[in-house]
Amino acid sequence: MQAGLHHLECQFDFRASVEQLDEFGIVTMPPFTDLPYLRQAFTHGELWPVKPVCVERLLAAKHLSDLHTSALLQAAVHRFCERRLLDRHASRMATEYGNRRTLLVEALRRRMPEGITWTEAEGGFSLLLTLPAGMDSGTLLPAAIARGVAFTPGRPFFVDGGGERTLRLSFSALPARRIDEGVRRLADTIKAALKRPRASGPDRAPVQVV
């Protein structure tokens, strides 16, 4: 694996740092800027043997840390907006997401057992569902995954530490034709959990969803 992206935030002589890196066999490209305190450059250094599983973990961590878009995508979006296509696209997306939200709400009304409530927001990409008293969405998640459906436990969305009974259902990336089947599987999971007697002792720790 090639060593890369050494951040040379030089508040001193950038050229001197390049020469020092060169002594260790690290080749540095020209800096991205001439501003004295913002000079950064890519480098090509030594090669290290890395196990594939480590690469996969590093890639996953990188995906979580990338909170911005690439320059190429930004340029594409700029061209898209220049051609006045954004309004038309936004209108189409609003219609599509509105349809998916309606399908989700209708499926919840048909399939969920009594005691389950949910929000019906006018915007956004998800709804918040509340389970009956005594249930924990984190504990329910493994059983739901076993049935082929997943959700995000609601606890992380509550700043006061509550939300154990809530779960987030997202519909933005799910094809409309699959929404009803997903709700059916979730409803079956909840019904099965309601039939089981509660075990004594502390509840299982919630499963973290990344």
- pLDDT tens digits along 153-197: 999 888 777 899 999 999 988 899 999 999 999 999 999 999 987
Cβ burial of 199 (10 Å; 0-12, 13-18, 19+) is: exposed
For 135, other C-beta atoms within 10 Å of its C-beta total 19
Mean pLDDT (the chain, rounded): 80
Give the pLDDT band (50/70/90) at residue 57: confident
- Chain length of the chain: 210
Cβ-count burial of 26 within 10 angstroms (0-12 exposed, 13-18 middle, 19+ buried)? middle
Residue 2 backbone dihedrals phi, psi, to 5 degrees: -80, 135
Cβ distance 187 to 113 under 8 Å? yes
Q: Terminus-to-terminus CA distance in the chain, angstroms?
A: 26
**Better-predicted residue by pLDDT, 135 or 13:** 135
Residue 178: predicted pLDDT? 95
One-letter amino acid identity for 119?
Answer: T
**Cβ atoms within 10 Å, residue 127:** 18
* pLDDT over 50 (residue 201): no
Note the pLDDT of residue 202: 45
Q: Read off the pLDDT band of 205 (50, 70, 90).
A: very low
Q: State the virtual CA torsion across 87, 90, 91, 92 in degrees, nearest 10.
A: 120
- Model confidence over 85-142: pLDDT tens digits? 888 888 898 899 999 999 999 999 999 999 999 998 777 889 999 999 999 999 999 9
Give the span between the Cα atoms of 184 and 110, in whole angstroms.
9
